[in-house]
Amino acid sequence: MNFRAAGILRATAMEASRLVLRRAFARSASSAKRKVVILGANGGIGQPLSLLMKLSPLVSDLGLYDIVGTPGVAADVSHVNSRAQVAGFAGEENLGKCLKDADLVIIPAGVPRKPGMDRDDLFNINAGIVQTLCAAVAKNCPKALVNIISNPVNSTVPIAAEVFKKSGTYDPSRLFGVTTLDVVRARTFLASAKKLNPSEVDLPVIGGHAGATILPLFSQASPKVSLSTKELDALTKRTQDGGTEVVKAKAGKGSATLSMAYAGALFAEACLKGLNGVNNVIECTYVESSVVPGLSFFSSKVRLGKEGVDEILELGSLSDYEQKGLEAMKDELKKSIEKGRKFVQSGGGGGGGKKKKK
């Protein structure tokens, strides 16, 4: 046997070994019982997210909740031939039943952004919804991981934190703002600009989840790329304005629901992998953090584990362009965080739950 043939055999054996390990993990991961609950399951994000979570082999039980319409959504997705058992709950009187024994709660509930709607409009409606739902989470499944999708995330995550503090159940390692859509967009836009395979592009997006607080770190992209200042400006701006791009394309009749559902499912699966003991699960997410002095919540890479956040990773080396972007976002992000905190501390809202349906 020559060296080349021997090398091929060794490579084939190694690949076969890796395939066996992957299949073994898939079996063990899918055997773990994990209940996922979606609050706002009858909405524009909630319905496709419900389908995607039903398709996940990591989900054994799927609870779907909304003010109205959820039994129909549950009946529909329950016909999909995958592992998860589905139950639908409608009405505030059934919220606790839906949340019981949840390992992961995903909250896409709220109204979408529409043309002419400013951040205050969005905040005033969705803040009360998030407050009401998180109070129910604190009462019925205080140990669950909580993924907040409801906008504006920069403020709704601090709202959730204050609600959990008031109930005595707050664990910062278990509360997440889902910023995965920003990462998905940055990867997609960079791949398109540089003629790369989108599935092979990786780069972090840090900061928050609105406008200039969204900062893609193209200097840390893999594979490495060279971008002119003009290209960098265009890609950064498009990532920051991705939501507006969709709202305009839908002519005011919708927002980013399908791509948000996809991103929400990606992050949910990462959380479930962490709970199941998979090593080195790293995602960008908006969490309580001290990585940037003066900002108590910030989105950056974190390592997920059996208790939620295992470790918040350092930002790494930033380019001059990115450093300027970081400095420029600080005031806006700090104001958004404080706005969320004061909403709960001043006793605001609490009655917004009836507007959850998208």
Binding-site entries for substrate: 113, 119, 151, 185
Q: Could you give the CA distance from residue 82 to residue 276 in angstroms, rounded to a whole number?
A: 19
One DSSP character per residue, 227-295 reads --HHHHHHHHHHHHTHHHHHHHHTTTS--S-HHHHHHHHHHHHHHHHHHTT-TTEEEEEEEE--SSTT-
Residue 6 tokens read as: 């021997």
Catalytic choice (209, 301, 339, 358):
209
Q: Is 79 a catalytic residue?
A: no
Q: Could you give the CA distance from residue 99 to residue 109 in angstroms, rounded to a whole number?
A: 15
Residue 215 tokens read as: 């900062």
Q: Could you give the CA distance from residue 132 to residue 127 in angstroms, rounded to a whole number?
A: 9
Confirm if 315 and 206 have CB atoms less than 8 A apart: yes
Q: Nearest-CA neighbor of 178 among 285, 273, 76?
A: 285
Q: Show which residues are catalytic.
A: 209
